Protein backbone atom coordinates (compact mmCIF):
# COMPACT_ATOMS: atom_id res chain seq x y z
CA UNK A 1 0.00 0.00 0.00
CA UNK A 2 1.52 3.31 -1.08
CA UNK A 3 0.76 6.40 1.00
CA UNK A 4 1.68 10.05 0.49
CA UNK A 5 4.02 11.46 3.13
CA UNK A 6 1.53 14.29 3.73
CA UNK A 7 -1.34 11.94 4.61
CA UNK A 8 -2.97 13.02 7.86
CA UNK A 9 -6.47 11.53 7.69
CA UNK A 10 -7.46 8.05 6.49
CA UNK A 11 -11.07 6.91 6.54
CA UNK A 12 -11.40 3.12 6.26
CA UNK A 13 -14.75 2.89 8.02
CA UNK A 14 -17.41 0.48 6.71
CA UNK A 15 -14.99 -1.27 4.35
CA UNK A 16 -15.53 -4.86 5.50
CA UNK A 17 -11.97 -5.01 6.85
CA UNK A 18 -11.33 -7.89 9.32
CA UNK A 19 -7.70 -6.98 9.99
CA UNK A 20 -4.92 -4.68 8.84
CA UNK A 21 -1.76 -5.73 7.08
CA UNK A 22 1.42 -5.25 9.17
CA UNK A 23 3.00 -3.19 6.38
CA UNK A 24 0.06 -0.78 6.42
CA UNK A 25 0.29 -0.40 10.18
CA UNK A 26 4.02 0.24 9.99
CA UNK A 27 3.52 2.87 7.29
CA UNK A 28 0.93 4.66 9.41
CA UNK A 29 3.26 4.60 12.41
CA UNK A 30 6.06 6.07 10.32
CA UNK A 31 3.79 8.89 9.14
CA UNK A 32 2.46 9.51 12.66
CA UNK A 33 6.02 9.94 13.90
CA UNK A 34 6.31 12.99 11.62
CA UNK A 35 2.87 14.53 12.00
CA UNK A 36 -0.58 13.78 13.35
CA UNK A 37 -2.39 10.97 11.53
CA UNK A 38 -6.00 10.05 12.20
CA UNK A 39 -7.47 6.68 11.24
CA UNK A 40 -11.16 5.83 11.20
CA UNK A 41 -12.00 2.11 11.45
CA UNK A 42 -15.55 2.02 12.75
CA UNK A 43 -18.08 -0.21 11.03
CA UNK A 44 -15.55 -2.93 10.08
CA UNK A 45 -15.96 -6.59 11.13
CA UNK A 46 -12.64 -6.75 12.98
CA UNK A 47 -11.46 -10.08 14.40
CA UNK A 48 -9.75 -10.76 17.72
CA UNK A 49 -8.27 -14.17 16.98
CA UNK A 50 -4.80 -15.61 17.38
CA UNK A 51 -3.96 -14.45 13.87
CA UNK A 52 -4.88 -10.84 14.64
CA UNK A 53 -3.51 -10.42 18.17
CA UNK A 54 -0.70 -8.23 16.87
CA UNK A 55 -3.27 -5.86 15.35
CA UNK A 56 -5.18 -5.70 18.66
CA UNK A 57 -1.98 -4.71 20.41
CA UNK A 58 -1.26 -2.15 17.71
CA UNK A 59 -4.66 -0.52 18.21
CA UNK A 60 -3.82 -0.06 21.88
CA UNK A 61 -0.26 1.21 21.48
CA UNK A 62 0.02 3.04 18.16
CA UNK A 63 0.61 6.79 18.08
CA UNK A 64 -1.93 7.04 15.26
CA UNK A 65 -5.13 8.73 16.46
CA UNK A 66 -8.06 6.34 16.26
CA UNK A 67 -11.68 7.35 16.03
CA UNK A 68 -13.73 4.47 17.43
CA UNK A 69 -17.53 4.54 17.61
CA UNK A 70 -18.38 2.09 20.38
CA UNK A 71 -20.69 3.95 22.77
CA UNK A 72 -22.92 0.90 23.31
CA UNK A 73 -20.10 -1.38 24.54
CA UNK A 74 -19.58 -2.21 28.19
CA UNK A 75 -15.89 -1.58 28.59
CA UNK A 76 -13.53 -3.42 30.89
CA UNK A 77 -12.78 -1.50 34.09
CA UNK A 78 -9.07 -1.66 33.37
CA UNK A 79 -9.39 -0.36 29.83
CA UNK A 80 -11.74 2.49 28.93
CA UNK A 81 -10.11 4.37 26.07
CA UNK A 82 -13.23 4.57 23.89
CA UNK A 83 -11.31 5.90 20.93
CA UNK A 84 -9.26 2.70 20.75
CA UNK A 85 -11.97 0.14 21.46
CA UNK A 86 -13.65 -1.59 18.53
CA UNK A 87 -16.14 -4.47 18.35
CA UNK A 88 -14.51 -7.69 17.16
CA UNK A 89 -15.32 -11.35 16.62
CA UNK A 90 -13.64 -13.67 19.13
CA UNK A 91 -12.02 -17.05 18.46
CA UNK A 92 -15.11 -18.94 19.72
CA UNK A 93 -17.46 -17.02 17.43
CA UNK A 94 -18.76 -14.68 20.11
CA UNK A 95 -18.47 -10.91 20.11
CA UNK A 96 -16.10 -8.86 22.21
CA UNK A 97 -13.97 -5.79 21.83
CA UNK A 98 -10.34 -5.02 21.15
CA UNK A 99 -10.19 -3.26 24.52
CA UNK A 100 -11.32 -6.29 26.52
CA UNK A 101 -8.92 -8.54 24.63
CA UNK A 102 -6.08 -6.12 25.31
CA UNK A 103 -7.00 -6.02 28.99
CA UNK A 104 -6.53 -9.81 29.10
CA UNK A 105 -3.62 -9.80 26.69
CA UNK A 106 -1.40 -12.27 28.56
CA UNK A 107 -4.15 -14.89 28.81
CA UNK A 108 -4.95 -14.63 25.11
CA UNK A 109 -1.26 -14.70 24.17
CA UNK A 110 -0.55 -17.83 26.24
CA UNK A 111 -3.54 -19.62 24.73
CA UNK A 112 -2.54 -18.78 21.17
CA UNK A 113 1.15 -19.57 21.65
CA UNK A 114 0.26 -22.82 23.41
CA UNK A 115 -1.95 -23.84 20.49
CA UNK A 116 0.79 -23.00 17.99
CA UNK A 117 3.37 -24.90 20.05
CA UNK A 118 1.07 -27.93 20.24
CA UNK A 119 0.57 -27.84 16.48
CA UNK A 120 4.31 -27.58 15.80
CA UNK A 121 5.03 -30.41 18.25
CA UNK A 122 2.41 -32.64 16.65
CA UNK A 123 3.79 -31.96 13.17
CA UNK A 124 7.36 -32.61 14.36
CA UNK A 125 6.30 -35.89 15.97
CA UNK A 126 4.48 -36.93 12.81
CA UNK A 127 7.56 -36.15 10.70
CA UNK A 128 9.73 -38.23 13.04
CA UNK A 129 7.34 -41.19 12.90
CA UNK A 130 7.13 -41.00 9.12
CA UNK A 131 10.92 -40.75 8.92
CA UNK A 132 11.38 -43.85 11.07
CA UNK A 133 8.76 -45.72 9.07
CA UNK A 134 10.40 -44.73 5.79
CA UNK A 135 13.82 -45.76 7.12
CA UNK A 136 12.46 -49.15 8.15
CA UNK A 137 10.78 -49.72 4.80
CA UNK A 138 13.93 -48.76 2.91
CA UNK A 139 16.01 -51.05 5.09
CA UNK A 140 13.68 -54.05 4.98
CA UNK A 141 12.70 -53.71 1.31
CA UNK A 142 15.92 -52.33 -0.12
CA UNK A 143 16.03 -54.78 -3.02
CA UNK A 144 12.45 -53.95 -3.94
CA UNK A 145 13.09 -50.21 -3.61
CA UNK A 146 16.18 -50.45 -5.79
CA UNK A 147 14.33 -52.26 -8.54
CA UNK A 148 11.26 -50.05 -8.17
CA UNK A 149 13.49 -47.02 -8.65
CA UNK A 150 14.97 -48.64 -11.72
CA UNK A 151 11.48 -49.27 -13.05
CA UNK A 152 10.39 -45.69 -12.41
CA UNK A 153 13.55 -44.33 -13.95
CA UNK A 154 13.19 -46.34 -17.12
CA UNK A 155 9.37 -46.48 -17.00
CA UNK A 156 9.49 -50.22 -17.63
CA UNK A 157 10.63 -53.52 -16.14
CA UNK A 158 14.09 -54.83 -17.04
CA UNK A 159 14.06 -56.98 -20.18
CA UNK A 160 16.18 -59.89 -21.31
CA UNK A 161 17.98 -57.86 -23.94
CA UNK A 162 19.07 -55.33 -21.31
CA UNK A 163 21.63 -57.90 -20.13
CA UNK A 164 24.80 -59.15 -21.76
CA UNK A 165 23.88 -62.82 -21.21
CA UNK A 166 20.53 -64.54 -21.31
CA UNK A 167 21.79 -66.97 -18.69
CA UNK A 168 24.98 -67.87 -16.88
CA UNK A 169 25.58 -71.37 -15.50
CA UNK A 170 27.13 -71.34 -12.03
CA UNK A 171 28.74 -74.59 -10.90
CA UNK A 172 31.55 -76.14 -8.90
CA UNK A 173 34.96 -76.48 -10.54
CA UNK A 174 34.67 -80.26 -10.65
CA UNK A 175 31.32 -79.97 -12.47
CA UNK A 176 32.70 -78.06 -15.47
CA UNK A 177 32.14 -80.93 -17.89
CA UNK A 178 28.58 -81.36 -16.65
CA UNK A 179 27.95 -77.62 -17.01
CA UNK A 180 29.19 -77.69 -20.60
CA UNK A 181 26.76 -80.51 -21.40
CA UNK A 182 23.91 -78.57 -19.80
CA UNK A 183 24.73 -75.46 -21.78
CA UNK A 184 24.82 -77.44 -25.00
CA UNK A 185 21.54 -79.23 -24.22
CA UNK A 186 19.69 -75.99 -23.47
CA UNK A 187 21.24 -74.27 -26.49
CA UNK A 188 20.13 -77.08 -28.80
CA UNK A 189 16.61 -77.04 -27.36
CA UNK A 190 16.30 -73.26 -27.64
CA UNK A 191 18.61 -71.91 -30.36
CA UNK A 192 19.58 -68.26 -30.21
CA UNK A 193 20.00 -67.98 -26.46
CA UNK A 194 23.11 -66.19 -25.23
CA UNK A 195 24.34 -68.76 -22.73
CA UNK A 196 27.53 -68.46 -20.75
CA UNK A 197 29.54 -70.55 -18.33
CA UNK A 198 31.04 -69.12 -15.18
CA UNK A 199 34.51 -69.77 -16.56
CA UNK A 200 33.70 -67.55 -19.57
CA UNK A 201 33.04 -64.59 -17.28
CA UNK A 202 36.14 -64.86 -15.10
CA UNK A 203 39.27 -63.41 -16.61
CA UNK A 204 42.53 -65.32 -16.01
CA UNK A 205 44.22 -64.05 -12.87
CA UNK A 206 41.16 -62.12 -11.70
CA UNK A 207 39.68 -62.35 -8.22
CA UNK A 208 37.11 -65.18 -8.16
CA UNK A 209 34.44 -63.42 -6.02
CA UNK A 210 34.49 -60.41 -8.34
CA UNK A 211 34.08 -62.70 -11.32
CA UNK A 212 31.11 -64.48 -9.77
CA UNK A 213 29.44 -61.20 -8.84
CA UNK A 214 30.06 -59.74 -12.30
CA UNK A 215 28.69 -62.81 -14.08
CA UNK A 216 25.47 -62.66 -12.02
CA UNK A 217 25.05 -58.94 -12.62
CA UNK A 218 25.47 -59.29 -16.40
CA UNK A 219 22.98 -62.14 -16.78
CA UNK A 220 19.22 -62.15 -17.21
CA UNK A 221 18.94 -65.55 -15.52
CA UNK A 222 21.28 -67.33 -13.14
CA UNK A 223 21.24 -71.13 -13.45
CA UNK A 224 22.69 -72.85 -10.39
CA UNK A 225 23.93 -76.35 -11.13
CA UNK A 226 23.42 -78.01 -7.74
CA UNK A 227 25.18 -81.31 -7.28
CA UNK A 228 26.70 -82.96 -4.26
CA UNK A 229 30.03 -81.61 -5.46
CA UNK A 230 28.61 -78.07 -5.63
CA UNK A 231 27.36 -78.26 -2.05
CA UNK A 232 30.84 -79.27 -0.90
CA UNK A 233 32.66 -76.64 -2.95
CA UNK A 234 34.42 -73.84 -1.05
CA UNK A 235 32.80 -71.10 -3.16
CA UNK A 236 29.29 -72.52 -3.42
CA UNK A 237 28.02 -70.52 -0.45
CA UNK A 238 29.26 -67.27 -2.00
CA UNK A 239 27.68 -68.15 -5.35
CA UNK A 240 24.35 -68.85 -3.69
CA UNK A 241 24.46 -65.56 -1.78
CA UNK A 242 25.13 -63.66 -5.01
CA UNK A 243 22.17 -65.42 -6.59
CA UNK A 244 19.98 -64.45 -3.62
CA UNK A 245 20.99 -60.82 -3.99
CA UNK A 246 19.85 -60.76 -7.61
CA UNK A 247 16.26 -61.69 -6.69
CA UNK A 248 13.67 -58.96 -6.26
CA UNK A 249 9.91 -58.61 -6.09
CA UNK A 250 9.94 -57.41 -9.70
CA UNK A 251 12.21 -60.28 -10.84
CA UNK A 252 11.34 -63.17 -8.52
CA UNK A 253 12.30 -65.88 -11.04
CA UNK A 254 15.76 -64.62 -11.93
CA UNK A 255 17.44 -67.66 -10.35
CA UNK A 256 16.82 -71.15 -11.74
CA UNK A 257 18.04 -74.16 -9.77
CA UNK A 258 18.96 -77.46 -11.41
CA UNK A 259 19.12 -80.33 -8.93
CA UNK A 260 21.25 -82.97 -10.67
CA UNK A 261 21.52 -86.54 -9.44
CA UNK A 262 20.88 -87.83 -5.94
CA UNK A 263 21.72 -85.40 -3.16
CA UNK A 264 22.45 -86.26 0.43
CA UNK A 265 20.16 -84.81 3.12
CA UNK A 266 20.85 -81.17 3.96
CA UNK A 267 23.29 -80.73 6.81
CA UNK A 268 21.77 -78.51 9.46
CA UNK A 269 25.01 -76.68 10.26
CA UNK A 270 26.71 -76.63 6.86
CA UNK A 271 26.85 -72.98 5.63
CA UNK A 272 26.42 -73.84 1.97
CA UNK A 273 23.43 -76.04 2.80
CA UNK A 274 21.85 -73.29 4.89
CA UNK A 275 22.30 -70.77 2.07
CA UNK A 276 20.79 -73.18 -0.40
CA UNK A 277 17.77 -73.84 1.79
CA UNK A 278 17.24 -70.10 2.17
CA UNK A 279 17.43 -69.63 -1.60
CA UNK A 280 14.88 -72.37 -2.23
CA UNK A 281 12.46 -70.57 0.08
CA UNK A 282 12.95 -67.30 -1.83
CA UNK A 283 12.24 -68.51 -5.37
CA UNK A 284 9.02 -69.96 -6.84
CA UNK A 285 8.78 -73.73 -6.90
CA UNK A 286 8.52 -73.58 -10.69
CA UNK A 287 12.12 -72.31 -10.80
CA UNK A 288 13.48 -75.59 -9.39
CA UNK A 289 14.19 -78.41 -11.85
CA UNK A 290 15.20 -81.98 -11.01
CA UNK A 291 17.46 -84.00 -13.30
CA UNK A 292 17.51 -87.49 -11.79
CA UNK A 293 20.11 -89.12 -14.03
CA UNK A 294 22.69 -88.36 -16.66
CA UNK A 295 22.35 -85.24 -18.77
CA UNK A 296 21.08 -86.16 -22.23
CA UNK A 297 19.47 -84.15 -24.99
CA UNK A 298 16.36 -86.33 -24.78
CA UNK A 299 15.12 -84.67 -21.61
CA UNK A 300 12.09 -82.41 -22.22
CA UNK A 301 13.33 -80.30 -19.35
CA UNK A 302 15.76 -78.45 -21.63
CA UNK A 303 12.97 -77.02 -23.75
CA UNK A 304 11.15 -75.90 -20.60
CA UNK A 305 14.32 -74.41 -19.17
CA UNK A 306 15.13 -72.63 -22.43
CA UNK A 307 11.64 -71.14 -22.62
CA UNK A 308 11.96 -69.95 -19.04
CA UNK A 309 15.27 -68.26 -19.79
CA UNK A 310 13.86 -66.58 -22.91
CA UNK A 311 10.72 -65.27 -21.22
CA UNK A 312 10.32 -61.58 -20.39
CA UNK A 313 8.13 -60.28 -17.53
CA UNK A 314 4.57 -59.47 -18.51
The pLDDT of residue 267 is 56
Tell me which of 55, 77, 103 is where a domain ends. 103
**1 pLDDT higher than 60:** no
Judge if 166 and 80 occupy the same domain.
no
Judge if 70 and 167 occupy the same domain.
no
**Considering the chain, what is the average pLDDT of its residues?**
82
Query: What is the residue-wise DSSP string for 147-195?
Result: HHHHHHHHTS---GGGSSEEEEEE--GGGHHHHHHHHHHHHHHSTT--E
Q: What is the pLDDT of residues 199-245, one digit of tens each?
A: 887 777 778 888 888 889 889 999 999 988 888 888 888 889 999 98
CA distance 136 to 287: 30
- The answer to whether 60 touches 46, Cβ cutoff 8 Å, is no
Tell me which of 61, 78, 103 is where a domain ends. 103
Judge if 287 and 216 occupy the same domain.
yes
For residue 84, give the DSSP letter. G
CA distance 236 to 226: 9
Judge if 195 and 273 occupy the same domain.
yes
Cα radius of gyration rounded to whole Å, the chain: 40
More confident residue, 267 or 196: 196
More confident residue, 273 or 156: 273
The pLDDT of residue 192 is 92
Tell me which of 87, 103, 119 is where a domain ends. 103
CA distance 186 to 272: 26
The pLDDT of residue 106 is 81
Is there a domain that residue 79 lies in?
yes
Is there a domain that residue 46 lies in?
yes
Q: Hey, which residues does 95 pair with through a beta bridge?
A: 89
Is there a domain that residue 147 lies in?
no
**Residue 267 backbone dihedrals phi, psi, to 5 degrees:** -85, 130
Average confidence (pLDDT) over 40-45: 89
Is there a domain that residue 62 lies in?
yes
The pLDDT of residue 159 is 82
Q: What is the pLDDT of residues 244-283, one digit of tens each?
A: 988 887 788 899 999 888 877 665 566 667 788 888 888 9
Is there a domain that residue 241 lies in?
yes
- Domain membership of residue 77 as a residue range: 9-103
Q: How many domains does the chain have?
A: 2
Judge if 168 and 43 occupy the same domain.
no
Q: 3-state DSSP call for residue 294? A: coil
Judge if 278 and 206 occupy the same domain.
yes
| CATH number where 246 lies | 3.40.50.10140
State the pLDDT confidence band at 96, using cuts at 50, 70 and 90: confident
User: pTM score, two decimals?
Assistant: 0.50
Query: What is the residue-wise DSSP string for 213-224?
Result: HHHHHTEEEEEE
Of 198, 191, 211, the closest CA to residue 309 belongs to 191
CA distance 163 to 216: 10
Long-range contacts of 27-34 (CB under 8 A, 24+ apart): 27/1, 27/3, 28/3, 28/62, 28/64, 29/62, 29/63, 29/64, 31/3, 31/5, 31/7, 32/62, 32/63, 32/64, 32/65, 33/63, 34/5
The pLDDT of residue 287 is 92
Judge if 167 and 304 occupy the same domain.
yes
**74 pLDDT higher than 60:** no
Is there a domain that residue 156 lies in?
no
Is there a domain that residue 153 lies in?
no
Q: 3-state DSSP call for residue 274? A: helix
Residue 279 C-beta-side C-alpha neighbours within 13 Å: 30
Q: 3-state DSSP call for residue 255? A: strand
Is there a domain that residue 149 lies in?
no
CA distance 314 to 307: 14
Amino acid sequence: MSMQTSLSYLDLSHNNIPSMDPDVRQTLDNLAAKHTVTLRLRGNPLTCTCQSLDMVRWLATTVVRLDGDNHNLAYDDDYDDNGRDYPCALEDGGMGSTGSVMAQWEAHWRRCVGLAFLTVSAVALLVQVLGLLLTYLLWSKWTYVRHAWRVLRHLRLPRRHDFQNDAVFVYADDDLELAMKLKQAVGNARPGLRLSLLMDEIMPGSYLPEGIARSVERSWKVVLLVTQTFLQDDWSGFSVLQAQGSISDTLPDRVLVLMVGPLQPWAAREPSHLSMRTLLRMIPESCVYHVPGAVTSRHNIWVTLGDRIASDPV
